[in-house]
Structures are given as structure tokens and as C-alpha cells.
Amino acid sequence: METKLKTCTKGINKAKGFEGCGNSTMKLTYGLCNSCLWDFYHNDERGKVIYQKSFLPKVSLKLKSFQKQNKADLRQKLKTLSQYEAEAKKSFQKYVRLRDKDLACISCGTTKAKTWHGSHYFSANLYSGLIFNEKNVHKSCDYCNVFLHGNLLEYRKGLLARFGWEYVAKLENIADENRVYKYTKDELVKIKKKYDGKIKELEGK
């Protein structure tokens, strides 16, 4: 089936009186082909008003969106390994606090605290391979985790009371094997994604 061509002769409706070029085209807007329509938008006072109201906001919005995405992409490219690790830690810590939200402090047993932390039994600074080990991190009050540096003797008692000897023994056995570990960017991205997903699941319950 042949497509019937239309002739750009003169403007209609909002472009009434604007002269067309006489060329044939498949589509007319206000009776004008694309070339004449562009001319109408930029050289006719009525067209300028239409263009400014209808198209400039969209162009501006697209430009802002493009610039925002470019900035985000640039920040992502310039992000250091430490920043990736910090982001992964933040998601992991939030997951631990949500997982243990109905439990008391692992060290002292309090159910009241100004701030709750995800406290490492084996220090994150000394045992990098256990930073994201869920069995090594539990909800703790700010006093035990910060002022008492984890309150580790009581932490161990808390682990024994909550999980039993076998749990603690296995954790202590793997500690030296995982003392030093260097995470890659891809690993940290996956870890963050994993715990972001777990957070959504827990928040949805």
C-alpha cells in the first residue's frame, strides 16, 4: 500500500498564515513540513512562544538528566577501593542491625542504647577476611562497641549463650585463615548489592 504524501503549502491552526515551502512530505505539523515547522518555531513570534512553552522545558529536563547521569558516571569511575568498601560495610552493618533488631546487645545484654552498632567479634581492622562474615558480626550497644572496644570477653559469653560452643569454636578456627584478605572492586559491589537485597527483604516483613 502506497503512502500518500502531503504537501507543505501553508500553516494552519496555530501557524495559520505562515507560508509553506510546497514540498511533499509524509507528515505535517500545523500544515508544515519539518523544515518549515523549525522555521516557524524560530522566526515567527507565535512559533517562538509555542517552542518555549512546549519544547524548551523538555530539552532542559533532558539536559539536566544527562548532566546528572554524567556526573554520577564520573563519580563512579573516580571512586576508590576504600569508598567501595565503605559502601559495602554500610549496607552490611544495616543488615546486621535489622537482622538482630529484636535481640539484646551481644555483649552486655542491654535492650536500650542511644545507638546500635554491628559489632565484630574478630576486629574488622585486624581480620579483614571476616569483615562481612555474618557469624562474626552482631548487634551491640554503642557503649560496648565504642567505649569498651567491643567488650570482647562479654561478647564471647554472649556468643556461647546464644549459639553454643560449636558455633564459637568454628568461628575461632577460621579466624587466622581469614585474617588478611584484599577485596576487589567487583567483590565489594556484589557484597553491597547482596546486602541491599537482604535489607529490602527484612524491611518488607
Supply the DSSP symbol for 128: G
Residue 75 is predicted with a pLDDT of 67
Task: Please state, in angstroms and rounded to a whole number, the distance separating the CA atoms of residues 14 and 28.
Answer: 13
Is 114 found in the same domain as 61? Answer: no
Residue predicted with more confidence, 22 or 89: 89
Is 182 found in the same domain as 108? Answer: yes
Q: Given 77, 97, 112, which residue is the final one in a domain?
A: 77
pLDDT tens, residue by residue, 163-197: 999 999 999 999 988 889 999 999 999 999 999 99
pLDDT tens, residue by residue, 124-149: 999 999 999 999 999 999 999 999 99
Is 174 found in the same domain as 85? Answer: yes
Parent domain of 10 = 6-77
Residue 140: how many CB atoms within 10 A of its CB?
32
DSSP-assigned beta bridge partners for residue 160: none
Residue 1 lies in a domain: no
Is 92 found in the same domain as 46? Answer: no
Is 121 found in the same domain as 47? Answer: no
Is 194 found in the same domain as 114? Answer: yes
Task: Please state, in angstroms and rounded to a whole number, the distance separating the CA atoms of residues 140 and 119.
Answer: 6
Task: Please state, in angstroms and rounded to a whole number, the distance separating the CA atoms of residues 201 and 29.
Answer: 51
Is 136 found in the same domain as 45? Answer: no
What separation in angstroms does the CA of 148 have from each of 107, 108, 119, 155, 178? 10, 11, 11, 11, 24
Give the mean pLDDT of 41-63: 78
Please state the separation of Cα 103 from the chain's center in Å.
28
Give the mean pLDDT of 52-62: 73
Is 160 found in the same domain as 96? Answer: yes
Is 62 found in the same domain as 89? Answer: no
Q: Given 39, 56, 77, which residue is the final one in a domain?
A: 77
Q: Given 77, 111, 130, which residue is the final one in a domain?
A: 77
Report the domain count for the chain.
2
Is 148 found in the same domain as 65? Answer: no
